[in-house]
Structures are given as C-alpha cells and as structure tokens.
Structure 1
Amino acid sequence: MSEGCFLWGVLRYPPLWRGRDLDFEPASLRGVMVAADPETGAALLVSQHDGLAQGALLRGLAAEDLQTMAALEGNSLRCARVTVELAQGGQVQATALLPQTALADQGFAAWDLAQWAARYGAQYALVAQAEVEAARLGPLLARAGARLRAAAQVAPVTRRHPAGPQDVACQALRQPYKRFFAVEEADLRFRRFDGSLSPQVTRAGFISCDAVTVLPYDAQRDRVLLVEQFRTGPFLRGDPQPWQLEAIAGRIDAGETPEEAARREALEEAGLTLTALLPVAQYYPSPGILTEFLYSYLALTNLPDHAAGIFGLAEESEDIRGHLISFDQLMALAQSGEIGNGPLLLLAYWLAANRIQLRRACPASSV
C-alpha cells in the first residue's frame, strides 16, 4: 500500500501546498537524478545508473490531488508506484509523478531547489492557489509575476484618490474565457468620491500580463530600429492594414525582470544585444479594459546598415521585419498616422524631447 506521494521537483516547494495540513519528510529515489532544463531551468527527472534524486515524501495527499498539481511541473507526467528511501532509514512504497518516457542523462547540471525558488518560487506559489492547467502554465506564471510587481510598486497618490483595503468590495469573480489570455468578470462595489460605496456593478477585464517595449536608438547615426509584423487586433477590428510598425515588445516571462525581458526580446525580434536601457515610462495602455502594464525603454545602441533583417521565433510563428529609419522619418510616420500604436508613439515623442541631449552625450556624435 502506498504510504504517501514522493515529490522530486517543483512540487517539493512547501509554499505550493499552503493551507493544507500535510507532512513533509525528506526522501530519495535511486536510479534517477533531478536535472535542470538548460533552456528553462525547470526540473527534469533523468535516468542515471548511480543517481539519487533528493525529494520529499508527502503524507496525507491523495494521488488524484497530486495529479491535479502536476501541471506545475510543466511536463507530461504519469502517476507510478516507486520505492523511496527515507532519510531516517527504511524504504516505503509511494506514488510519484514520472516522465512518460524516461529521459537519458545528457550531462545536465543538477537542479537546485533554493536557486529555483529564489527566481520563481513566489510566482509558482501564487499560481498554485488557483486552478492550474499545464497548457496555460506560462501565461499563468507571467500574470502571477505581474501581480507581484503590482503589489510591490510604490504608486504616487498626490492628486488621485488614495485607495484603501475597504474601497473596493468584490462580491463575485468569474472567468468565462481562459486560454493564452483570459477574460474575468467581477461583481463589485467601489468607493465613490462622496465617500459612499457604489451600487453593485458588473465589470469585465481582458487579462494578460506585464510586457516591455524598447526602441533601439543610434545617437551617432540619429536613427532607430522599428519592427513590423501582422497583428490580430487591427485585423479583427476590420483594419485593411493589419501590419503594424512597432517598437520591439514582448511579455515578461516568469522569473524575469522587465530589463531582462527587454534584452531577450531585442535578441529574438531584431538580433540586437542591448546594454544600456533608459527607462521612459511605466503605464497601463488602456486601464478601462486591460490588465496589461507596460515598461517602456529607449536603448542606446549601435545600428549599422546591416542591423535590419527578418527575425522571430519559428515555434511562435513569428515573422518580424526590421526597419532602420532616421529620426526625421520616425516623426513623419508618427505624424502621418502610419505609426498607429500607443507605445511606439510614446517612445517617439520621448525621443523627440530628449534627442539633442542624448546626441550631445554621444562621444562620436558630430552634433
């Protein structure tokens, strides 16, 4: 008879099981090792003749509950019975989540729970409190990161209402649509300017995650790099020109800082390795309906003639073309309406306000 569930990777992290009366006991599984995925840092279980996977025996948890939480591992796993060794001696039969197909040891580095927790733990713990789906793990973790950044953000309230915990009362929260993005609908009351609470109203929001935009600028050559790609929003609106000229942009993945995301997206979308990033603004592009929060940067970088090309991740069906254009051309596009998205317009006008100073600070500038 199984005496518990053996946890070997992400699920060993106790905060994921917050609110449950469970007993963790150190244990190990022979013949395998817990390795770090070289691309994502996730925990992998790989075959190793003399391996000893460190983990925990969790008592008081049904196998079906373990399977429900398996989505947090991000892998295709199956429940199996295994023999585990207890730290205090002895062996017991336990249920464990194992890969569908045994992974061979390819010289992977060992996975470290403490290092993983320092980077990802808080986001996983937040996701674990709701319904978890393996197919949506990435977006869920990215949104959890957004919530944590929002909670930690120091928001100025010099003119607007300084909201307190009693100023919004949410009676119900529904999620009628959830895939890569989601829609949430809330029944709530909010504090009115006369001090009273409003009648109950129903409000819906489009749920996404935090994202970055970055405009590369070569101060010596006085030009920028824009990217162009097909966009679903204009297409569904009926816009006959759904290809958009934009700044480099992308979501902030789990465990990333906004600056790390900006550099990653610049490499993926334009083949650029960025160093200096100048913060321009942090903002909600459309707070009446979107949870998305943007971090916008200007990047001072070198943009030679060969910097523009075709980029994008094949696995995400991205087809992104770069354009090298002068500052004057950038402003002409903004004024003509050919640039039709807020983040790039904001960056363009910020550059216009700060361009002379940036060029004077460039040692090789002829200005």
Structure 2
Amino acid sequence: MPALFFYGTLCHLPLLRAVLGREVQVVAAQLPDHAVWWSGEGAWPVIRAEAGAVAQGILLRDEGPEDLDRLDFYEGAFGYDTRVLPVQTAGGLVPAQVYFPVDAAKTGAPWHLPDWVADWGAVATATAPDVMALRGQRDAGEVARRYRLMLVRGASRVRAATPAPVRLRHAARAEDVVIARQTQPYANFFAIEEYDLHYRRFDGTMSSRINRAVFLSGDAVTVLPYDPQRDRVLLIEQFRAGPHGRGDPQPWLLEAIAGRVDPEETPEQAARREAVEEAGLVLGALEKVGQYYPSPGAKSEYLYSYVALCDLPDGVEGVFGEASEAEDIRGHLVDFDRFMQLVTTGEVDNAPLLITALWLQRERARLRGGHSPA
C-alpha cells in the first residue's frame, strides 16, 4: 500500500495522533508541482496542481489498513478523497496517497501551518477524538454538517483542561473514570452522549457499571449590562423551549444577554458579540461574576457570567436578535430596586440572572463609586 502524504492540518502531529489513535512515525516530504492555499470558505487548506510549486509536508511510513480507514472517515467528513502521486523524500521519489478536496473552487492566501496551529490547533485536536468516536455510528457527511458545532465542544475541552482549584474535593486522576461503552443516540444543534462507566468511589474501589447520559451544548456566556450612573440594568425577554417543554405556561423569560462561545473566540469576545446581536449594545468594561456548571448532573454546559458597565439612556431598549436563528428578543430597562423586586417575586427565575443579581447587589456600591460607563 502506498505511503500517506499530508500537507495541511494533519502535519500537526498532535492532531494526526488523535485521528489515528496512536503514536506515529513520519518523515519530511514534498509534493512537486503542487501548492497549498487557505480555503476561501474557512480555516482549512486546499491543494492544487501548480507547475513549479512545491507543497511541503510529511510522509507517514508506518501506515496500516486501520489507519487508512480512520483517515478516510476523518478526511471524508470534509470532502476529501485520495490520489496516488510521486512524493519527494530524502531517499528519492516514492508513491504516496494524497487527500485532495473534491470541490475547492475558492482559495485564499498561501497556507501557513503555524498560523493555523496558533488559532485552531488545540481546538481541532481536542475535537478529533469526538469525530473519531462516531466512526461506525455516523456517516462522514453527517459529521461534516455538525463539525462546527463539534468544534464548540472541542474549544470547551481546551478551556476545561485548566480546572478550578482542588483543595477540598477529590483530586481526580485519568484512571478514576473508566468508560466501558460510549454512544451518541442524538445529534443535531445539540447532542446527547450515553456512557456505561465505572468511577472511583471514596473508599478507593471502583463502582459497579453505571449508565449515564449527558446533554452536550458547549460553553456559553451571560452578560448583564449595568449603568452605574443611572443605576439601571438592561434585561432581555424571549421565548424559551426549555420552560415550554417543562409545561410552564409562561415560557417567555427575563434573562441576561447570553449565547454560546464560538470555537474561534474567548468568552469575553462572545459576550461583546452577543450584546450587539441581542441588544444592539457596545459594552464597556466587563466585570467577571463567576464561571460554573449550571446543571452538572446531566449537562456539560459551562457558563461564564459577567456584568458589563455601559451607558443605558432612555430609549436604548428595543427588539433585536439574529434572524437566521429565529431570535425575537425584547429589551427592558429596569432600575436596580425594580430588578431586585423581580428577583424577590420570582419573575426572574433562571440561575445565571439570579447569580448575577446577587453579585451586583454585593458589588453595586463599588461599581457606582469607582467606575463610569465606557
């Protein structure tokens, strides 16, 4: 079987190891008369024949049938298939399989691997095991359709790698949770994973095999705009499917501005983007309220909550939202005392806004005395 030549993201060895599920042996190689470009449609490379050009890459020399099957699943999700071409190595020309895009009509600037690694390497590497776990459960086309949503989870994994302090609770080790079986019975905008697993008990023994399901939605942000000079906040109101599914006759909730953290942004950047989309606001300084799991028994979601100092004059509220996401979001200007009344009466009944309200109650005097809106 011909060797495998990689010229793009799989030249990032941590990603290649994640896709193949093993350590790899590679050598530097070149593909003559070809050039690699950024895709004009996203953050990935495409290769094209180009006389006189040279595509730099690596050659996998210890490949096996299992490797090709895994690579076909991973690359097939992105619309790539293989051609056999002569590749230049230090020992001369060798035949190698090269993944080519099926459709690469648009290209951008010349491809530069370190730039991709800096922006996407960690997230793509963290997402690869999730992609490969679907081999045999989903076809490559379905994975391709959900890949950006899967990157959201991958970015969450990268952030989760720096956990909160461990001073009182159990200091977990990798061997403290053993996965016996993992499936994904549902995947669309969100996904559900089901696990059969064993975990370390406090007496040091492993538990019996248990079954657990996890709702996957990625990390998210909430941000409450606060005007310290006028002592008022801006709340948003929108229909929510969760309360509707519970049977709540009032599924329109008062909330803080909120949204998922996209894979290419930080939580702070997401907060500022969502404020523009949901309230037409450009935020000033961000005050961090906290970061937390809102419902850890069943959800992987992790929230970053903020209060944002900003100017909230009369008339700033309106109706906003992204039409592509069917959002219909109304703003409400509420002075601080009224806000706390809404908390007391229970009209504010979602955890992120309740947590933020209590934080603002504690920090309000400092914010009014030491800051002004930006």
Deviations 1:67-106 (A, max 9, x none): 311267xx4x24253756637597666544444444245x
CA shift at 1:32, angstroms?
4.9
TM normalised by structure 2 equals 0.80
Alignment partners' CA distance in 1, 2:51 and 2:236? 49
Hey, what does 1:326 align to over in structure 2?
335
- Note the C-alpha offset of 1:300: 1.1
The answer to whether the 8 A contact 2:309-2:372 is kept is no
Rate the CA distance shift 1:228–1:44 in 2: closer, same or farther, 3 A.
farther
Maintained 8 Å contact 2:126/2:157: no
**Is 1:225 aligned to 2:208, yes or no?**
no
Residue of structure 2 in register with 1:26 after alignment: 29
More displaced stretch, 349-358 vs 173-182: 173-182
Q: In the alignment, what sits opposite 1:248?
A: 257
Matches within 5 A, 1:59-208: 59=61, 60=63, 65-70=70-75, 75=78, 77-79=79-81, 81=83, 83=85, 86=88, 94-105=96-107, 108-129=108-129, 130-131=132-133, 133-158=143-168, 160-165=169-174, 167-193=176-202, 196-208=205-217
C-alpha distance in 2, partners of 1:234/1:81?
52
Alpha-carbon separation, structure 2, partners of 1:49 and 1:306:
61
Q: Is the 8 A contact 2:40 2:106 kept in 1?
A: no
- Segments of 5+ residues of structure 1 without an aligned counterpart are none
CA spacing shift, 1:288–1:91, aligned 2, 3 Å: same
User: Residue deviations 1:246-293, cap 9 Å, x none?
Assistant: 112122222432222222222332333334211111111111111111
CA positional deviation for 1:47: 8.7
Q: Sequence identity, in percent?
A: 46
- For residues 221-260 of structure 1, give each alpha carbon's deviation from its aligned partner in whole angstroms, at most 9, with x where no partner exists: 2222222222221121122222222112122222432222
Distance 1:350 1:5 in 2: 56
CA distance in 1, matches of 2:274, 2:320: 11
So what's the TM-score if we normalise by structure 1? Answer: 0.82
Taking the aligned partners of 2:44 and 2:267, their CA distance within structure 1 comes to: 20
CA distance in 2, matches of 1:192, 1:58: 42
Q: How does 1:296-315 map to 2 (within 5 A)?
A: 296-315=305-324
Q: Give the corresponding residue for 1:287.
A: 296
Code of the residue aligned with 1:125 in structure 2: it is: T
Task: Please say if 1:13 is aligned against 2:16.
Answer: no
Instruction: Report how far residue 155 of structure 1 moved.
Output: 2.0
SS in 1 for 2:362: helix
- Structure 2 CA distance for aligned equivalents of residues 228 and 48 of structure 1: 55
Change (3 A) 1:231 1:28: farther
Deviation at 1:164, TM superposition (A): 4.6
